[in-house]
C-alpha cells in the first residue's frame, strides 16, 4: 500500500484544517467569555482531537497518568519535533504553553495560544523573564499546567538537545512539580520524520506533507514526577535525562560554559562595569577579588545568570545606570561580562574599584 494519500484525500484534509482554524478562532473570540474554565478546556481538547483526525493522525499515550485539572498545576517538560506536538499534548491535558513572542502575531494561531493560557516570552530579553516566571507560577498555583519545550528548537526526534535552564527556576524558586514527557512520531509502527518541522521550513509545506501521508501516529509518553533539585542547571539536566530515557534516544552533549574561562573584554567601558559587578559580588559575599575573577569561580559559588542580572539591575537603580535591553542577551551560560557589557552610563559613575 502506498504511504501517500490520494490527492482528493489531501484536499479534504486541508479544507477541514482550514475550517477548524476558523471555528477555533471564533470559539476563543466569541464563545470564550460565556464558558467556564472546564467548558473551555473540554472544547479545546475536542478541537485538538479534531485537528489530528483531519490530518489522519492517530494519538497514542503511554506511561504515567496525565495530571488532571484541579489542585496544583505541573510543569510539563517535553522534547520538540513538530507544531503537532502542542496539538497532541493539548488533546490529552488542559494546559498552557510557553511560546516565543513572535507567535503572538500569527493569524488565528496567536489568538488560540493566548486564549488557551499560553505565555509569550521575548527570547534574549532577561527583563521579560521575571514577568514570564511570575505569570507561569500564578497559573500553576491556580491549577493550570504549563508545557515547555526547553530545547528551544525542533529536531527530527532522534536526539534530545541541551535544555534551556531558565524555566527550571520555577522548580527551584517555587517548588513547581515537573513531569517529563517524550513525543515521537510513527508511520505504520516505525519511527517517522515526516512530521518533523525543522530549520526554516514554513508552516504550510509542513502541513501539506503531513496531510499527504498515511499511517501517522503521534505518541506521547509520560514520565513520573521528578524529585526536587535545588539548583536549576541540575534540574534541567535531570529533566532532560528523563525525557531521553522515555524516548530511548541519546543526549546531544551541551557545550557547557565557554571553552575558556577567560573573559574577552570588548571595550574599556564594559571592563569598568564588569569590574563594578564583580566588586559588588565580592563585597556582598565578603570574598576576595580573586574569588570572583572568572566564570568558573562564579559558577562554583552558585552565582548564575539570574543572580547576576539582579545585581546589574540593582546597580542601575542605585548608581543611575541604565541597561540597554537591545544589546543584552541572557542564557544559561551568561557571564558577568556578558550582562554588564550591555550597561551604559547615564551620567552616573561606577563604584571605585
Question: What pLDDT, on a 0 to 100 scale, did the predictor assign at position 205?
Answer: 93
Range with the poorest average pLDDT among 89-98, 294-303, 330-339: 330-339
Render pLDDT for 241-292 as a digit per residue (tens, 0 to 9): 999 999 999 887 764 332 333 333 334 545 555 666 666 667 766 776 666 6
Render pLDDT for 52-111 as a digit per residue (tens, 0 to 9): 999 999 999 999 988 766 667 899 999 999 999 999 999 999 899 998 888 888 877 888
Instruction: Select from 282, 273, 260 the least CA-distant residue to 319.
Output: 273
Contact 218, 59 (CB under 8 A): yes
Non-local CB neighbours of 15 within 8 Å, separated by 6+ positions:
none
Render pLDDT for 1-39 as a digit per residue (tens, 0 to 9): 668 888 888 999 999 999 999 998 888 888 888 899 889
Per-residue pLDDT band for 312 (boundaries 50, 70, 90) equals low
Contact 228, 170 (CB under 8 A): no
Q: Higher model confidence: residue 296 or residue 121?
A: 121
Non-local CB neighbours of 35 within 8 Å, separated by 6+ positions:
43
What is the pTM for the complete model shown?
A: 0.72
Non-local CB neighbours of 342 within 8 Å, separated by 6+ positions:
323, 324, 325, 327, 328
Q: How far, CA to CA in Å, does 341 sit from each of 73, 167, 171, 256, 317?
A: 38, 24, 29, 21, 17
**Helix residue spans in 202-304 (DSSP H):** 203-211, 232-247, 268-285, 295-300
Question: What pLDDT, on a 0 to 100 scale, did the predictor assign at position 190?
Answer: 93
Question: What pLDDT, on a 0 to 100 scale, did the predictor assign at position 255?
Answer: 43
Contact 115, 27 (CB under 8 A): no
Residue that the C-alpha cell 530515557 belongs to:
245
Evaluated on CA atoms 166, 170, 175, 181, the torsion sign reads negative
Per-residue pLDDT band for 347 (boundaries 50, 70, 90) equals very low
Contact 182, 224 (CB under 8 A): no
Phi, psi of 328 (to 5 degrees): -100, 120
Phi, psi of 102 (to 5 degrees): -65, -25
Q: Quote the mean pLDDT of the chain.
A: 78
Question: What pLDDT, on a 0 to 100 scale, did the predictor assign at position 1?
Answer: 60
Amino acid at each position: 500500500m502506498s504511504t501517500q494519500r490520494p490527492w482528493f484525500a489531501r484536499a479534504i484534509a486541508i479544507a477541514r484544517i482550514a475550517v477548524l482554524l476558523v471555528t477555533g478562532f471564533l470559539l476563543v473570540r466569541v464563545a470564550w467569555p460565556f464558558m467556564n474554565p472546564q467548558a473551555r478546556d473540554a472544547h479545546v481538547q475536542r478541537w485538538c482531537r479534531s485537528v489530528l483526525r483531519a490530518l489522519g493522525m492517530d494519538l497514542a499515550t503511554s506511561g504515567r497518568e496525565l495530571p488532571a485539572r484541579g489542585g496544583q498545576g505541573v510543569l510539563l517538560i517535553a522534547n520538540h519535533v513538530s507544531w503537532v506536538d502542542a496539538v497532541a499534548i493539548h488533546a490529552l491535558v488542559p494546559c498552557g504553553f510557553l511560546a516565543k513572542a513572535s507567535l503572538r502575531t500569527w493569524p488565528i494561531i496567536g489568538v488560540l495560544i493566548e486564549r488557551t493560557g499560553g505565555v509569550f516570552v521575548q527570547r534574549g530579553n532577561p527583563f521579560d523573564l521575571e514577568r514570564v516566571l511570575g505569570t507561569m507560577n500564578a497559573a500553576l498555583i491556580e491549577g493550570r499546567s504549563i508545557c515547555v519545550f526547553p530545547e528551544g528548537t525542533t529536531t527530527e526526534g532522534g536526539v534530545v538537545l541541551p535544555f534551556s535552564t531558565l524555566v527550571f527556576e520555577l522548580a527551584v524558586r517555587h517548588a513547581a512539580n515537573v513531569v517529563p514527557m517524550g513525543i515521537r512520531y510513527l508511520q505504520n509502527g516505525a519511527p517517522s520524520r515526516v512530521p518533523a518541522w525543522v530549520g526554516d521550513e514554513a508552516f504550510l509545506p509542513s502541513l501539506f506533507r503531513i496531510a499527504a501521508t498515511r499511517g501517522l501516529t503521534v505518541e506521547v509518553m509520560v514520565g513520573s514526577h521528578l524529585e526536587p533539585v535545588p539548583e536549576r542547571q541540575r534540574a534541567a539536566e535531570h529533566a532532560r535525562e528523563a525525557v531521553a530515557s522515555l524516548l530511548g534516544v541519546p543526549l546531544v552533549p551541551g557545550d557547557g560554559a565557554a571553552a575558556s574561562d577567560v573573559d574577552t573584554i570588548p571595550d574599556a567601558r564594559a571592563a569598568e562595569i564588569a569590574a563594578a559587578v564583580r566588586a559588588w559580588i565580592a563585597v556582598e559575599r565578603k570574598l576576595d577579588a580573586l574569588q570572583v575573577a572568572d566564570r568558573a569561580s562564579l559558577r562554583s559559588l552558585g552565582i548564575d545568570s539570574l543572580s547576576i542580572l539582579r545585581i546589574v539591575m540593582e546597580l542601575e537603580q542605585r548608581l543611575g545606570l541604565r541597561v540597554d535591553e537591545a544589546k543584552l542577551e541572557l542564557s544559561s551560560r551568561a557571564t558577568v561580562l556578558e550582562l554588564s557589557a550591555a550597561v551604559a552610563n547615564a551620567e552616573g559613575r561606577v563604584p571605585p574599584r
